Amino acid sequence: MVTGAGQGIGRAIAMRFAAEGAAVAALDVVGENATRTATELRASGARAVAVATDVTDSASIDAAALAIEAELGPIDVLANIAGIYGKHAPVRELELENWERVIAVNVTGGFLCVKRVLPGMVARRWGRILNIASGAAAIGRPRIAPYTASKTAIVAFTKALALEVGRDGITVNCVMPGVSDTAMPREVMSDEALYRLAEQNPMGRIGRPEDIANAMAFLASEDAGYITGQTIAVNGGIRQLP
């Protein structure tokens, strides 16, 4: 079950999971984007379903999970990828509505998805919960305080949840991307500005969605079965976690 699977990093994760042989549920608030991803997956020979889902609405998540379980079976892996920047402005100019919307999508959405799938994982004594943070959680970023706060909260949520469910055979981990070649950074910068960031990176490029998908695939695998509560930076070395 991959939220935010209609484009960018979420789509890349859905594609990579399918390549590993998983049946994939592509969820997105924009239904046609979810459908496009699922159609691509099925064309590649994968089992896939698309579900238009608002992760801030528990009823929408419940309906999505029921549809997934009926079509594909139990949900063993949850990738919480759906997220938004929100308005870019100094804190003194931000409306409460903007703050609440960013927290609702980026933090509460993941919490609600976890709440829905966790009982089944506990019953089966196996599961993978994968969250996505941001380099903004490591250093802070001006003009997107709600986004920065939300991504920091995701790291803490990952740690707390991992301690709760480790003995149930469930791992919980987080991937922290750097700037990636997706639509989100283009909300606030030109392609030229985006690619100038490559000059600052030790590896000489910005991230690709597939870089994040590779890390997520590893964390979902049996090979990562003794890794939990961790945040892994996938950013070409531009920021190194302690």
Which residues does the annotation mark as catalytic?
A: 147
Round to the nearest angstrom and report the end-to-end CA distance of the chain: 30
CA 124, CA 112: separation in Å to the nearest integer?
20
CA 120, CA 169: separation in Å to the nearest integer?
12
Tokens describing residue 179: 């700037």
Long-range contacts of 22-26 (CB under 8 A, 24+ apart): 22/46, 22/77, 22/220, 23/47, 23/48, 23/72, 23/73, 24/48, 24/49, 24/72, 25/1, 25/49, 25/50, 25/51, 25/64, 25/68, 25/71, 25/72, 25/75, 26/2, 26/50, 26/51
Burial of 146 (0-12, 13-18, 19+ CB in 10 A): buried
- Phi and psi at 144, nearest 5°, equal -135, 50
Residue 66 neighbours by CB distance under 10 Å? 12
